[in-house]
Homo-oligomer: A and B are copies of this chain.
Amino acid sequence: MREIKAGLLGFGNIGAGVVKLLHDNEELITKRLGARLVLKWIADIDIQRPRAVPHYEAMLTTNAWDVINDPEVSIIIELIGGYEPAKTFVLAALDQGKQVVTANKALLAVHGNEIFTKAEQMTVNLAYEASVGGTIPIIKTLKESLAANRFKSIMGIINGTSNFILSKMTDEKKDFEPVLREAQMLGFAEADPTFDVEGIDAAHKLTIVLSLAYDIRVDLKDIYREGITAITRQDIDFAQTLGYRIKLLAIARNRGGSIEARIHPTMIPRDELLASVNSNFNALHLSGDAADSVFLYGQGSGMMPTASAVVGDIMDIARDQLKGITCRVPGRSCLETQLREIALLPMEEVVTNYYVRFSALDKPGVLSRISGILGENNISIASVIQQGRTEGGPVPVVMITHKAREADVRKALAAVDNLEVVADKTVLIRMEDDSLP
Protein backbone atom coordinates (compact mmCIF):
# COMPACT_ATOMS: atom_id res chain seq x y z
CA MET A 1 0.00 0.00 0.00
CA ARG A 2 1.24 3.45 -0.90
CA GLU A 3 2.18 5.83 1.87
CA ILE A 4 1.95 9.59 1.81
CA LYS A 5 4.03 11.39 4.40
CA ALA A 6 3.02 14.60 6.06
CA GLY A 7 4.68 16.85 8.60
CA LEU A 8 2.93 19.05 11.14
CA LEU A 9 4.11 22.50 12.20
CA GLY A 10 2.41 23.54 15.46
CA PHE A 11 1.41 21.03 18.14
CA GLY A 12 -1.21 23.16 19.86
CA ASN A 13 -4.87 22.34 20.34
CA ILE A 14 -5.77 21.95 16.64
CA GLY A 15 -2.48 20.21 15.90
CA ALA A 16 -3.24 17.69 18.63
CA GLY A 17 -6.68 17.19 17.10
CA VAL A 18 -5.13 16.39 13.72
CA VAL A 19 -2.70 13.92 15.32
CA LYS A 20 -5.59 12.27 17.17
CA LEU A 21 -7.91 12.08 14.16
CA LEU A 22 -5.24 10.65 11.85
CA HIS A 23 -4.65 8.00 14.51
CA ASP A 24 -8.19 7.23 15.68
CA ASN A 25 -9.73 6.98 12.21
CA GLU A 26 -6.68 5.61 10.43
CA GLU A 27 -8.45 2.51 9.15
CA LEU A 28 -11.35 4.51 7.73
CA ILE A 29 -9.06 7.12 6.15
CA THR A 30 -6.86 4.44 4.60
CA LYS A 31 -9.87 2.62 3.17
CA ARG A 32 -11.39 5.76 1.67
CA LEU A 33 -8.06 6.92 0.27
CA GLY A 34 -6.62 3.61 -0.87
CA ALA A 35 -3.32 4.72 0.68
CA ARG A 36 -1.86 5.31 4.10
CA LEU A 37 -1.37 8.82 5.50
CA VAL A 38 1.70 8.85 7.71
CA LEU A 39 2.45 11.75 10.02
CA LYS A 40 6.25 11.60 10.06
CA TRP A 41 7.11 14.79 11.95
CA ILE A 42 5.65 17.17 14.49
CA ALA A 43 7.46 20.46 15.06
CA ASP A 44 6.72 22.83 17.92
CA ILE A 45 8.79 25.34 19.88
CA ASP A 46 7.76 23.49 23.02
CA ILE A 47 7.80 19.73 22.62
CA GLN A 48 8.10 19.03 26.35
CA ARG A 49 4.69 20.35 27.40
CA PRO A 50 2.21 17.52 28.05
CA ARG A 51 -0.42 17.21 25.28
CA ALA A 52 -4.01 15.99 25.32
CA VAL A 53 -2.91 13.29 22.87
CA PRO A 54 0.27 11.27 22.43
CA HIS A 55 2.26 11.80 19.23
CA TYR A 56 1.98 8.13 18.19
CA GLU A 57 4.51 7.32 15.50
CA ALA A 58 5.49 10.92 14.63
CA MET A 59 8.98 12.25 15.45
CA LEU A 60 9.11 15.40 17.53
CA THR A 61 11.38 18.33 16.79
CA THR A 62 11.76 21.95 17.80
CA ASN A 63 13.15 22.76 14.37
CA ALA A 64 10.54 23.28 11.66
CA TRP A 65 13.24 22.96 9.00
CA ASP A 66 13.66 19.27 9.92
CA VAL A 67 10.12 18.84 8.64
CA ILE A 68 10.16 21.21 5.67
CA ASN A 69 13.50 19.92 4.39
CA ASP A 70 12.71 16.22 4.73
CA PRO A 71 12.46 14.96 1.13
CA GLU A 72 10.09 12.17 2.23
CA VAL A 73 7.51 14.67 3.48
CA SER A 74 5.25 15.87 0.68
CA ILE A 75 2.54 17.61 2.70
CA ILE A 76 3.23 20.35 5.25
CA ILE A 77 0.43 21.12 7.73
CA GLU A 78 0.81 24.64 9.10
CA LEU A 79 -1.08 25.08 12.39
CA ILE A 80 1.16 27.64 14.05
CA GLY A 81 -1.18 30.54 13.33
CA GLY A 82 -0.31 34.23 13.06
CA TYR A 83 1.97 35.90 10.54
CA GLU A 84 5.50 34.85 11.46
CA PRO A 85 7.13 32.38 11.43
CA ALA A 86 4.12 30.76 9.70
CA LYS A 87 4.59 32.86 6.55
CA THR A 88 8.30 32.00 6.22
CA PHE A 89 7.61 28.29 6.69
CA VAL A 90 4.67 28.20 4.26
CA LEU A 91 6.56 30.06 1.53
CA ALA A 92 9.62 27.84 2.02
CA ALA A 93 7.51 24.70 1.81
CA LEU A 94 5.82 25.92 -1.38
CA ASP A 95 9.23 26.86 -2.78
CA GLN A 96 10.34 23.28 -2.31
CA GLY A 97 7.29 22.07 -4.21
CA LYS A 98 5.54 20.73 -1.10
CA GLN A 99 1.77 20.74 -0.78
CA VAL A 100 0.53 22.88 2.10
CA VAL A 101 -2.53 22.64 4.34
CA THR A 102 -3.23 25.58 6.65
CA ALA A 103 -5.96 26.86 8.94
CA ASN A 104 -4.36 30.30 9.12
CA LYS A 105 -6.92 32.90 8.07
CA ALA A 106 -4.86 35.86 9.30
CA LEU A 107 -1.94 34.78 7.12
CA LEU A 108 -4.11 34.23 4.03
CA ALA A 109 -6.09 37.44 4.51
CA VAL A 110 -2.98 39.59 4.82
CA HIS A 111 -0.39 37.74 2.72
CA GLY A 112 -2.71 35.71 0.47
CA ASN A 113 -1.65 37.36 -2.77
CA GLU A 114 2.00 36.46 -2.24
CA ILE A 115 1.24 32.96 -0.96
CA PHE A 116 -1.31 31.93 -3.59
CA THR A 117 0.90 33.33 -6.36
CA LYS A 118 3.83 31.31 -5.07
CA ALA A 119 1.72 28.13 -4.90
CA GLU A 120 0.52 28.68 -8.44
CA GLN A 121 4.05 29.33 -9.72
CA MET A 122 5.27 26.13 -8.09
CA THR A 123 2.15 24.21 -9.26
CA VAL A 124 1.40 22.96 -5.78
CA ASN A 125 -1.82 22.77 -3.78
CA LEU A 126 -2.52 25.12 -0.92
CA ALA A 127 -5.60 23.92 0.99
CA TYR A 128 -7.30 25.98 3.68
CA GLU A 129 -10.79 24.62 4.43
CA ALA A 130 -10.23 25.06 8.18
CA SER A 131 -9.48 28.77 7.81
CA VAL A 132 -13.14 29.80 7.48
CA GLY A 133 -15.91 28.24 9.52
CA GLY A 134 -13.80 25.45 11.01
CA THR A 135 -15.43 22.15 10.16
CA ILE A 136 -18.01 23.60 7.75
CA PRO A 137 -17.23 22.85 4.08
CA ILE A 138 -17.31 26.51 3.02
CA ILE A 139 -14.18 26.69 0.87
CA LYS A 140 -14.95 23.52 -1.11
CA THR A 141 -18.56 24.51 -1.60
CA LEU A 142 -17.59 27.90 -3.00
CA LYS A 143 -14.71 26.59 -5.14
CA GLU A 144 -16.33 23.40 -6.40
CA SER A 145 -19.94 22.53 -5.61
CA LEU A 146 -21.39 25.97 -6.37
CA ALA A 147 -18.70 26.98 -8.88
CA ALA A 148 -21.30 27.62 -11.61
CA ASN A 149 -23.01 30.33 -9.54
CA ARG A 150 -22.79 34.09 -9.36
CA PHE A 151 -23.43 35.03 -5.76
CA LYS A 152 -25.98 37.73 -5.07
CA SER A 153 -25.12 37.84 -1.40
CA ILE A 154 -23.32 36.00 1.37
CA MET A 155 -24.14 36.49 5.02
CA GLY A 156 -22.32 34.68 7.73
CA ILE A 157 -21.62 34.23 11.38
CA ILE A 158 -17.94 33.40 11.10
CA ASN A 159 -16.56 34.27 14.51
CA GLY A 160 -17.53 31.84 17.23
CA THR A 161 -16.32 33.93 20.18
CA SER A 162 -18.46 36.96 19.38
CA ASN A 163 -21.43 34.73 18.61
CA PHE A 164 -20.98 32.98 21.94
CA ILE A 165 -20.91 36.35 23.73
CA LEU A 166 -23.94 37.79 21.92
CA SER A 167 -25.93 34.56 22.40
CA LYS A 168 -25.20 34.53 26.10
CA MET A 169 -25.99 38.24 26.50
CA THR A 170 -29.32 37.57 24.77
CA ASP A 171 -30.31 34.35 26.48
CA GLU A 172 -29.13 35.21 29.96
CA LYS A 173 -29.77 38.98 29.87
CA LYS A 174 -26.21 39.81 30.82
CA ASP A 175 -23.84 42.64 29.92
CA PHE A 176 -20.88 42.39 27.56
CA GLU A 177 -18.07 42.56 30.14
CA PRO A 178 -19.12 39.72 32.49
CA VAL A 179 -19.99 37.48 29.50
CA LEU A 180 -16.58 38.17 27.95
CA ARG A 181 -14.90 37.14 31.21
CA GLU A 182 -17.02 33.98 31.29
CA ALA A 183 -16.06 33.21 27.67
CA GLN A 184 -12.40 33.66 28.59
CA MET A 185 -12.73 31.26 31.52
CA LEU A 186 -14.45 28.67 29.32
CA GLY A 187 -11.74 28.97 26.68
CA PHE A 188 -14.09 30.49 24.10
CA ALA A 189 -12.21 33.81 24.13
CA GLU A 190 -8.51 34.67 24.22
CA ALA A 191 -6.86 36.64 27.02
CA ASP A 192 -6.64 39.48 24.49
CA PRO A 193 -10.02 39.20 22.77
CA THR A 194 -9.46 42.07 20.31
CA PHE A 195 -9.31 39.97 17.12
CA ASP A 196 -12.63 38.32 17.93
CA VAL A 197 -14.74 41.05 19.52
CA GLU A 198 -13.58 43.80 17.16
CA GLY A 199 -14.47 41.77 14.06
CA ILE A 200 -10.88 41.46 12.85
CA ASP A 201 -10.98 37.66 12.69
CA ALA A 202 -14.31 37.81 10.83
CA ALA A 203 -12.81 40.32 8.39
CA HIS A 204 -9.89 37.97 7.72
CA LYS A 205 -12.34 35.20 6.88
CA LEU A 206 -14.55 37.45 4.76
CA THR A 207 -11.48 38.45 2.72
CA ILE A 208 -10.97 34.77 1.87
CA VAL A 209 -14.64 34.22 1.04
CA LEU A 210 -14.78 37.33 -1.19
CA SER A 211 -11.98 36.08 -3.45
CA LEU A 212 -13.72 32.74 -3.87
CA ALA A 213 -17.21 34.09 -4.45
CA TYR A 214 -16.44 37.08 -6.63
CA ASP A 215 -13.11 36.26 -8.30
CA ILE A 216 -11.56 39.36 -6.78
CA ARG A 217 -8.49 40.36 -4.82
CA VAL A 218 -9.45 42.24 -1.68
CA ASP A 219 -7.52 44.60 0.52
CA LEU A 220 -8.44 43.78 4.11
CA LYS A 221 -8.44 47.51 4.92
CA ASP A 222 -11.32 48.11 2.50
CA ILE A 223 -13.71 45.93 4.51
CA TYR A 224 -15.84 48.01 6.85
CA ARG A 225 -15.54 46.61 10.33
CA GLU A 226 -17.33 47.23 13.61
CA GLY A 227 -17.13 44.91 16.62
CA ILE A 228 -19.55 43.98 19.38
CA THR A 229 -18.05 45.83 22.35
CA ALA A 230 -20.65 48.61 22.19
CA ILE A 231 -23.65 46.27 22.15
CA THR A 232 -25.76 46.73 25.26
CA ARG A 233 -28.47 44.69 26.91
CA GLN A 234 -30.85 47.55 26.21
CA ASP A 235 -30.43 47.17 22.45
CA ILE A 236 -30.64 43.39 22.70
CA ASP A 237 -33.92 43.81 24.58
CA PHE A 238 -35.31 46.22 22.01
CA ALA A 239 -34.26 43.81 19.25
CA GLN A 240 -36.19 41.02 20.96
CA THR A 241 -39.25 43.20 21.38
CA LEU A 242 -39.11 44.00 17.67
CA GLY A 243 -38.70 40.32 16.68
CA TYR A 244 -34.97 40.43 15.90
CA ARG A 245 -31.69 38.96 17.12
CA ILE A 246 -28.38 40.82 17.07
CA LYS A 247 -25.57 38.90 15.40
CA LEU A 248 -22.08 39.90 14.31
CA LEU A 249 -22.54 39.33 10.58
CA ALA A 250 -20.07 39.24 7.75
CA ILE A 251 -21.95 40.52 4.74
CA ALA A 252 -20.96 40.50 1.07
CA ARG A 253 -23.29 41.63 -1.66
CA ASN A 254 -23.02 42.00 -5.40
CA ARG A 255 -24.12 45.56 -6.26
CA GLY A 256 -23.74 45.21 -10.01
CA GLY A 257 -20.50 47.04 -10.77
CA SER A 258 -19.14 46.81 -7.25
CA ILE A 259 -19.05 44.54 -4.24
CA GLU A 260 -20.19 45.47 -0.76
CA ALA A 261 -18.31 43.89 2.15
CA ARG A 262 -18.81 44.66 5.80
CA ILE A 263 -18.62 43.24 9.31
CA HIS A 264 -20.86 44.69 11.99
CA PRO A 265 -23.49 43.82 14.58
CA THR A 266 -26.71 43.30 12.64
CA MET A 267 -30.35 42.87 13.53
CA ILE A 268 -31.89 39.94 11.69
CA PRO A 269 -35.47 38.65 11.94
CA ARG A 270 -35.87 35.96 14.59
CA ASP A 271 -37.18 33.40 12.08
CA GLU A 272 -34.14 33.57 9.78
CA LEU A 273 -31.94 30.48 9.97
CA LEU A 274 -28.96 32.68 10.87
CA ALA A 275 -30.87 33.90 13.93
CA SER A 276 -30.91 30.30 15.22
CA VAL A 277 -27.12 30.02 15.13
CA ASN A 278 -26.23 30.22 18.78
CA SER A 279 -23.36 29.61 21.18
CA ASN A 280 -20.04 29.36 19.36
CA PHE A 281 -21.50 27.85 16.16
CA ASN A 282 -20.78 29.39 12.77
CA ALA A 283 -22.91 29.49 9.63
CA LEU A 284 -22.92 30.91 6.14
CA HIS A 285 -25.98 31.78 4.10
CA LEU A 286 -25.13 31.91 0.39
CA SER A 287 -27.47 33.18 -2.26
CA GLY A 288 -26.48 31.99 -5.74
CA ASP A 289 -28.15 32.96 -9.00
CA ALA A 290 -28.79 29.29 -9.82
CA ALA A 291 -28.57 27.55 -6.44
CA ASP A 292 -30.83 30.03 -4.61
CA SER A 293 -30.36 29.85 -0.80
CA VAL A 294 -27.73 27.52 0.56
CA PHE A 295 -27.10 27.48 4.29
CA LEU A 296 -24.09 25.75 5.86
CA TYR A 297 -23.73 25.38 9.62
CA GLY A 298 -21.33 23.79 12.08
CA GLN A 299 -18.56 24.24 14.61
CA GLY A 300 -16.36 27.13 13.55
CA SER A 301 -13.60 26.21 15.97
CA GLY A 302 -12.54 23.57 18.45
CA MET A 303 -9.94 20.84 18.41
CA MET A 304 -11.72 17.97 16.63
CA PRO A 305 -14.09 19.93 14.35
CA THR A 306 -11.18 21.96 12.98
CA ALA A 307 -9.10 18.79 12.68
CA SER A 308 -11.91 17.29 10.57
CA ALA A 309 -11.44 20.07 8.01
CA VAL A 310 -7.64 19.85 8.10
CA VAL A 311 -7.63 16.07 7.57
CA GLY A 312 -10.25 16.49 4.81
CA ASP A 313 -7.77 18.81 3.08
CA ILE A 314 -4.89 16.38 3.58
CA MET A 315 -7.00 13.60 2.02
CA ASP A 316 -7.92 15.90 -0.86
CA ILE A 317 -4.27 16.62 -1.58
CA ALA A 318 -3.37 12.96 -1.16
CA ARG A 319 -5.96 12.02 -3.80
CA ASP A 320 -4.21 14.37 -6.23
CA GLN A 321 -0.82 12.91 -5.35
CA LEU A 322 -2.05 9.36 -5.87
CA LYS A 323 -3.09 10.37 -9.39
CA GLY A 324 0.19 12.19 -9.98
CA ILE A 325 -1.34 15.64 -10.32
CA THR A 326 -1.59 18.94 -8.45
CA CYS A 327 -3.64 22.10 -8.84
CA ARG A 328 -6.71 20.38 -10.22
CA VAL A 329 -8.67 23.31 -8.80
CA PRO A 330 -7.08 26.80 -8.60
CA GLY A 331 -6.01 27.98 -5.15
CA ARG A 332 -8.72 30.58 -5.15
CA SER A 333 -11.65 30.71 -7.61
CA CYS A 334 -9.56 31.02 -10.77
CA LEU A 335 -5.92 31.59 -11.75
CA GLU A 336 -4.30 34.35 -9.70
CA THR A 337 -3.68 36.37 -12.86
CA GLN A 338 -7.39 36.32 -13.60
CA LEU A 339 -8.59 37.64 -10.24
CA ARG A 340 -9.97 41.14 -10.64
CA GLU A 341 -8.54 44.01 -8.61
CA ILE A 342 -11.52 46.03 -7.50
CA ALA A 343 -12.25 48.55 -4.81
CA LEU A 344 -15.11 47.53 -2.55
CA LEU A 345 -18.12 49.81 -2.31
CA PRO A 346 -17.33 52.49 0.30
CA MET A 347 -19.38 52.01 3.46
CA GLU A 348 -20.89 55.48 3.00
CA GLU A 349 -22.68 54.23 -0.11
CA VAL A 350 -24.22 51.16 1.48
CA VAL A 351 -28.02 51.23 1.53
CA THR A 352 -29.85 49.28 4.22
CA ASN A 353 -32.34 49.59 7.08
CA TYR A 354 -31.23 51.05 10.38
CA TYR A 355 -32.19 50.67 14.00
CA VAL A 356 -31.35 53.91 15.81
CA ARG A 357 -31.76 54.52 19.50
CA PHE A 358 -31.75 58.13 20.65
CA SER A 359 -31.30 59.25 24.25
CA ALA A 360 -33.72 62.09 24.24
CA LEU A 361 -34.55 64.38 27.10
CA ASP A 362 -38.22 64.18 27.87
CA LYS A 363 -39.15 67.62 26.57
CA PRO A 364 -41.82 68.82 24.15
CA GLY A 365 -40.88 68.82 20.46
CA VAL A 366 -37.91 66.45 20.74
CA LEU A 367 -39.41 63.77 18.50
CA SER A 368 -40.30 66.36 15.89
CA ARG A 369 -36.79 67.83 15.88
CA ILE A 370 -35.16 64.39 15.52
CA SER A 371 -37.51 63.24 12.79
CA GLY A 372 -37.10 66.59 11.07
CA ILE A 373 -33.33 66.09 10.85
CA LEU A 374 -33.83 62.54 9.54
CA GLY A 375 -36.25 63.82 6.91
CA GLU A 376 -33.82 66.54 5.77
CA ASN A 377 -31.31 63.75 5.17
CA ASN A 378 -33.62 61.59 3.04
CA ILE A 379 -34.25 59.10 5.82
CA SER A 380 -37.83 58.03 6.32
CA ILE A 381 -39.01 56.23 9.38
CA ALA A 382 -40.76 52.86 9.27
CA SER A 383 -41.59 52.63 12.98
CA VAL A 384 -40.98 54.27 16.33
CA ILE A 385 -40.93 52.94 19.87
CA GLN A 386 -40.83 55.31 22.82
CA GLN A 387 -40.81 53.35 26.06
CA GLY A 388 -40.41 54.19 29.70
CA ARG A 389 -40.10 57.62 31.20
CA THR A 390 -37.43 58.42 33.74
CA GLU A 391 -37.82 61.38 36.11
CA GLY A 392 -36.21 64.20 34.17
CA GLY A 393 -33.53 61.88 32.69
CA PRO A 394 -33.13 60.79 29.08
CA VAL A 395 -35.71 58.49 27.47
CA PRO A 396 -34.80 55.92 24.82
CA VAL A 397 -36.48 56.58 21.49
CA VAL A 398 -36.05 53.78 18.98
CA MET A 399 -36.65 54.25 15.29
CA ILE A 400 -36.43 51.78 12.43
CA THR A 401 -35.76 53.42 9.12
CA HIS A 402 -36.79 52.54 5.61
CA LYS A 403 -33.83 51.83 3.32
CA ALA A 404 -31.36 54.69 3.70
CA ARG A 405 -27.84 55.55 2.61
CA GLU A 406 -25.15 55.14 5.26
CA ALA A 407 -23.67 58.59 4.49
CA ASP A 408 -27.07 60.20 5.05
CA VAL A 409 -27.58 58.31 8.29
CA ARG A 410 -24.20 59.33 9.65
CA LYS A 411 -24.78 62.95 8.75
CA ALA A 412 -28.21 62.93 10.35
CA LEU A 413 -27.01 61.27 13.55
CA ALA A 414 -24.16 63.75 13.89
CA ALA A 415 -26.70 66.56 13.70
CA VAL A 416 -29.06 64.85 16.14
CA ASP A 417 -26.25 64.26 18.61
CA ASN A 418 -25.55 67.99 18.56
CA LEU A 419 -29.03 68.81 19.81
CA GLU A 420 -29.06 69.99 23.40
CA VAL A 421 -32.12 67.77 24.01
CA VAL A 422 -30.12 64.64 23.16
CA ALA A 423 -28.19 63.32 26.13
CA ASP A 424 -26.00 60.58 24.73
CA LYS A 425 -24.44 59.44 21.49
CA THR A 426 -27.15 57.81 19.37
CA VAL A 427 -26.78 54.07 18.92
CA LEU A 428 -26.95 52.72 15.36
CA ILE A 429 -27.37 49.04 14.46
CA ARG A 430 -27.77 48.03 10.84
CA MET A 431 -30.54 45.64 9.89
CA GLU A 432 -30.79 42.92 7.25
CA ASP A 433 -34.43 42.17 6.68
CA ASP A 434 -35.76 41.50 3.20
CA SER A 435 -39.28 42.21 4.38
CA LEU A 436 -38.50 45.84 5.28
CA PRO A 437 -39.02 48.46 2.55
Contact = CB atoms under 8 A, between A and B. Distances in A.
Interface of A: 17, 21, 24-25, 28-29, 31-34, 129, 135-137, 140-141, 144-150, 215, 271, 273, 276, 281, 283, 288-299, 302, 304-305, 307-309, 311-312, 315-316, 319-320, 322-325, 328-330, 333-335, 338
B140 A144 contact: yes
B32 A308 contact: no
Contact of A290 (B276, B291, B305, B319): B305
A147 B274 CA distance: 26
Contacts of A305: 290-292
A296 B299 contact: no
A315 B25 contact: no
B309 A147 contact: no
B298 A302 contact: no
Most buried by B among A145, A293, A299: A145
B299 A291 contact: yes
Given A144-B315, A276-B276, A291-B299, 8 more contacts: A25-B290, A137-B137, A137-B145, A140-B140, A145-B312, A291-B305, A319-B328, A323-B325
Contact of A148 (B140, B296, B312, B320): B312
A297 B299 CA distance: 16
Contacts of A290: 17, 21, 25, 135, 304-305, 307-308, 311
Nearest to A30: B334
A338 B31 CA distance: 8
Contact of A319 (B146, B291, B307, B329): B329
B31 A334 contact: yes
A146 B297 CA distance: 13
Contact of A330 (B32, B137, B146): B32
Contacts of A141: 137, 140-141
Contact of A335 (B34, B276, B325): B34
B29 A148 contact: yes
Contact of A315 (B33, B135, B147, B289): B147
A294 B294 contact: no
B21 A148 contact: yes
Contacts of A333: 32
A311 B299 CA distance: 29
A150 B25 contact: yes
Contacts of A25: 148-150, 289-290
30 contacts: A25-B148, A25-B290, A28-B215, A31-B215, A32-B147, A32-B215, A32-B334, A129-B145, A137-B140, A137-B141, A140-B145, A144-B312, A144-B315, A148-B307, A148-B311, A148-B315, A288-B308, A290-B311, A291-B299, A291-B304, A291-B308, A292-B298, A292-B305, A293-B297, A295-B297, A297-B297, A319-B329, A323-B325, A325-B325, A328-B328
